[in-house]
């Protein structure tokens, strides 16, 4: 049922490529930046995160995922011409 939803909407290859690059690209770029940063810069970031309260730290760490999920929903709805109901449910 849910897999049948994949065939609905406009799924041309370039739309899938744009959606993948925009959503995964942001996450991969962030991942690469961690490897590019020096040990001193990483230690400084870790020290600054220790000064922040636990709740605020959780919010800071979850915010990129909220942004990416929102971006994914907007791209699928607008670029692939899917309704909100088709994105969230199997009906």
Q: Say whether pLDDT at 54 is over 70.
A: yes
75/67 Cα distance (integer angstroms): 12
Say what the pLDDT of residue 4 is: 73
2: left (phi over 0), alpha (psi -120 to 50) or beta: alpha
Does pTM surpass 0.85?
A: no
Q: Say whether pLDDT at 59 is over 90.
A: yes
Say what the pLDDT of residue 55 is: 94
Mean pLDDT over 51-70 rounds to 91
Tell me 4's DSSP state: G
């Amino acid at each position: 049922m849910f897999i049948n939803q994949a065939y609905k909407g406009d799924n041309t290859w370039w739309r899938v490529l744009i959606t993948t690059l925009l959503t995964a690209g942001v996450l991969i770029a962030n991942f690469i930046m961690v490897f590019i940063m020096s040990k001193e810069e990483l230690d400084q970031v870790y020290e600054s995160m220790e000064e922040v309260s636990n709740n605020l730290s959780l919010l800071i760490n979850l915010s990129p995922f909220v942004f990416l999920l929102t971006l994914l929903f907007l791209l699928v709805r607008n670029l692939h011409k899917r309704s909100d109901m088709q994105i969230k449910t199997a009906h």
